[in-house]
Structure 1
């Protein structure tokens, strides 16, 4: 596939393609404990997109979704990997999702909460990762419960425990891993949201650039690239998003 030089220029104003990488979501990206290098499906997609454009790639790595979003919104990076959200969409043009991730609630074994409907009560405090997709979603959806923002998604359960909160909210896989390390915790038995993970680029880069990114994502899903990447990295709890209805 030949890429129009104007699209390449739109994505590389500094001469390199800068990918904003969020290490706060272990389904998408993690850091190798030995080398310190990031790896995961978002890194695989970033390299594939750079290859498609025929340019060098620079990974701009952050520890939270909020920082990663801000980097693209303020054009300190040329594209990134985010959950689709209306607030983020004010400055970022999203593709259709490439991966679907489930958001769940976690409580203590002896908590009186047994269903999602019981969470939104005035006496409940819900720990979330600041600026994460579920923070943005629950900020809109929860009317009575109080939201307590942990500094990152990885710190949600520790914040929940340290402050003796009633509920923790986050990506199912992250919560399950934390619950395995800490006895006496359980996940509620149904998701409260599906997190639609997409790629995105600043709206100021123009419609042609956004369209090229959307087509790239659809090709990566259809070719099996996304599924193969998830499998390669041993990722459970996420599924490849279906093809977009409109290109």
Structure 2
């Protein structure tokens, strides 16, 4: 009996030592703090616009504060870090991505784009984003196959996944780039373009604000929406990657989707790459 107790004691001591030696991904690491909260806050870059999706926020008309899926995920990340959250808001991708080069923000939530990996390192995806078209009232365009034709003018956001994808794929239609989503919305409303290309949730939000506008069925592309950090912050990337996986498993992402009105949005499976 004494021998068994002795062995048990050794096992317990070994387990305790292992637990102490194992890295604790709770935000207490000095390296994580240095890379993810260098100013004492976690600075979250978010895209804002007139309509929301699983990464773009809108502004609360009463308070002027951002609201949406990315905001809720950022706040949950701040809680896990034990650090206040500061939102760095951008109405276009060009400025958001350029800021990543200049230590302006620490983490963001965006669709994957190979071009963006020059300045960002992506973690796991939490959603699969479909891209399609919005057409104005009275449009003769009924299906995806009707879009790529001579004379068809398609609006896209400058610096977006959509812009690069459509630049490579379209053969006959004309691509028109605009800096902000609000500009695209006005182009569609005024009938100055024949279609707008973007993510389905984005376009559904615009369609609700433009009488007669329709979102086409089907899609021309799909991409993962993921957490990302500025290039060369490995400890930060590991921490936010672990956070997203936990957020998917514990229902944080699901609740953020539901709160934002995306009840049909499917949370990406565990370990999904963007």
TM-score, shorter chain, exceeding 0.5: yes
Q: In structure 2, what is the equivalent of residue 218 of structure 1? A: 245
Query: Is the CA contact (8 Å cut-off) linking 2:155 and 2:196 kept in structure 1?
Result: yes
Aligned counterparts of 2:46 and 2:105: Cα–Cα separation in 1: 10
1:245 and 1:196, CA in 2 relative to 1: closer, same or farther beyond 3 A? closer
Q: In structure 2, what is the equivalent of residue 62 of structure 1? A: 90
* 1:150 Cα deviation from its structure 2 partner: 2.3
SS of aligned partner of 2:232? helix
Structure label with greater radius of gyration:
2
1:49 and 1:179, CA in 2 relative to 1: closer, same or farther beyond 3 A? closer
* 1:88 Cα deviation from its structure 2 partner: 0.6
Q: In structure 1, what is the equivalent of residue 141 of structure 2? A: 113
* 1:184 Cα deviation from its structure 2 partner: 3.4
Q: In structure 2, what is the equivalent of residue 53 of structure 1? A: 81
Consecutive unaligned residues of structure 1, counting only runs of 5 or more, are none
* 1:108 Cα deviation from its structure 2 partner: 3.8
Q: Structure 1 residue 17 and structure 2 residue 42: aligned?
A: yes
* 1:147 Cα deviation from its structure 2 partner: 1.0
Count, aligned residues: 245
* 1:224 Cα deviation from its structure 2 partner: 0.9
Q: Structure 1 residue 2 and structure 2 residue 26: aligned?
A: yes
Aligned counterparts of 2:263 and 2:272: Cα–Cα separation in 1: 26
SS of aligned partner of 1:94? strand
Query: Is the CA contact (8 Å cut-off) linking 1:104 and 1:171 kept in structure 2?
Result: yes
Q: 142, 155, 158: which one pairs with 2:170? A: 142
1:237 and 1:167, CA in 2 relative to 1: closer, same or farther beyond 3 A? farther
Aligned counterparts of 2:157 and 2:110: Cα–Cα separation in 1: 14
Consecutive unaligned residues of structure 2, counting only runs of 5 or more, are 1-24
